[in-house]
Amino acid sequence: MSPAAASPFLRIENVTKRYEGTDAPAVANVSLDVGRGEFFSLLGASGSGKSTLLRILAGFETPDSGHVFIDGRDVTDLPPYERPVNMMFQSYALFPHMSVADNVGFGLKQDGMPKAQRTKRIEDLLDMVHLGSKAKRKPHQLSGGERQRVALARALAKHPKLLLLDEPLGALDRKLRESTQFELKALQARLGITFVMVTHDQDEAMTLSSRLAVMDHGRVLQIGAPNEVYESPTSRHVAEFLGAANLLDAAVTGWASGIATLACDGFDGSFKATAPSPLSAGTRVAIAVRPEKIRLCGAADDADNKLHGQVKDVAYIGDVSTYNMWLAGARSLRVQTTNSKRGGAMPASGEELWLSWDAADAVVISE
């Protein structure tokens, strides 16, 4: 059973939102469940409706239809301050004239928490994000990563049951993002608070999330654990958005025990790929093969799928190399290999090689 099925802490039911004066809904009939203590991500390109959905959860936007339940309670018509929710904004929205401590304690002061108690809570929060020594500084005296941690501490001050994070690491450079990702994940696991994060960065969503939803044009295309969605994409869009994918147009010629046999447009021979549900002969589909699932070898091996090709371009990235392989009919496939040996021999441009992969390492996509 998935975590969500065990305990749907957050339930989004058929939520639709169209902004006035626009043709297409920003969020279109979205339904999903998030389990208690999950780190859940909404992943999609810019404009896919992620922030709108997050703002609906926070109560800053009202859906045209549908319902939001938090911990079993319908909160659809509740104002933001009556929801057990806090939101961390992409810009962090820190008060520039206030110290770090006052920023973190702002909401507590507004709620009338006595000073002594507030001071203790602020101390605990700043220790939690390793900023205890910088309590008196102003936001402009901090690095980007430190400002991010102030915003996080402030968002957690009132013990929200659900924390919403809109592109929380978007303002950080790449190296800092990576270390901050691990800190954020460790903190979430320790606190046990349910996190829903919005991001357009697939690596970030994959690194942090227990599950993620891929969004496009306001719709949720697929929901699952990062490895499930990566290894078993159900649509072309998801296959291409989450990682790199080779997509081969094909027609089904047969199906048995979860494996489809296929004829690929422009290639001779028969291909095999994983297809959990039965498919009838003649159905038009695509075969998706990830670049790292394809082997390059000098002679044809006994793999389920084989193609002859020529190395067109080589990109040496250090840990991996990516090859653009020319095939018959001016087609190309992308292949990625791991450089596990120092100074290992690498295929060179112009070299003729066989590309092979097994049925288990490719999936049939019907949409």
Rounded CA separation 255/288 (Å): 17
Mark residues 26-65: x for contact with Mg ion by CB under 5 A, - for none: -------------------------x--------------
> Which lies closer to ligand ADP via its Cβ, residue 46 or residue 340?
46
Beta carbon of residue 268, minimum distance to ligand ADP (angstroms, whole number): 43
Strand partners, 112: none
> Which lies closer to ligand ADP via its Cβ, residue 131 or residue 206?
206
Q: Given strand 85-88, what is the order of strands in its sheet?
A: 85-88, 162-166, 194-199, 39-44, 211-216, 219-224
Q: Which of 3, 8, 35, 44 binds ligand ADP (CB under 6 A)?
A: 44
Give Cβ neighbours of residue 365 (< 8 Å, ≥ 6 apart). Answer: 233, 234, 235, 236, 239, 247, 285, 286, 287, 288
> Which lies closer to ligand ADP via its Cβ, residue 49 or residue 59?
49
Q: Are 43 and 196 in contact (CB under 8 A)?
A: no
Count of alpha carbons within 13 Å of 143, Cβ hemisphere only? Answer: 9
> Which lies closer to ligand ADP via its Cβ, residue 46 or residue 227?
46
Q: Which of 1, 5, 23, 46 binds ligand ADP (CB under 6 A)?
A: 46
Q: What, of ligand ADP, Mg ion, none, does residue 290 touch, CB below 5 to 8 Å by kind?
A: none
Q: Which stretch binds ligand ADP (CB under 6 A): 39-47, 114-122, 127-135, 172-180?
A: 39-47
Beta carbon of residue 49, minimum distance to ligand ADP (angstroms, whole number): 4
Q: Which of 35, 49, 168, 224 binds ligand ADP (CB under 6 A)?
A: 49
DSSP state at residue 148: H
Give Cβ neighbours of residue 314 (< 8 Å, ≥ 6 apart). Answer: 321, 322, 323, 324, 346, 347, 348, 349
Number of residues that this document lists for the chain: 367
When asked if residue 226 is in the footprint of ligand ADP (CB under 6 A), the reply is no
Structure tokens at 252: 């089904």
- Residues numbered 11 to 30 that lie near ligand ADP (CB under 6 A) are 19, 22, 26
Beta carbon of residue 21, minimum distance to ligand ADP (angstroms, whole number): 7
Q: Which residue, chain included where needed, has tokens 């490895």?
A: 227
Q: Are 116 and 193 in contact (CB under 8 A)?
A: no
Q: Which residue is nearest to Mg ion (CB)?
A: 51
- Residues numbered 52 to 81 that lie near ligand ADP (CB under 6 A) are 52
Residues that bind ligand ADP (CB under 6 A): 19, 22, 26, 44, 46-52
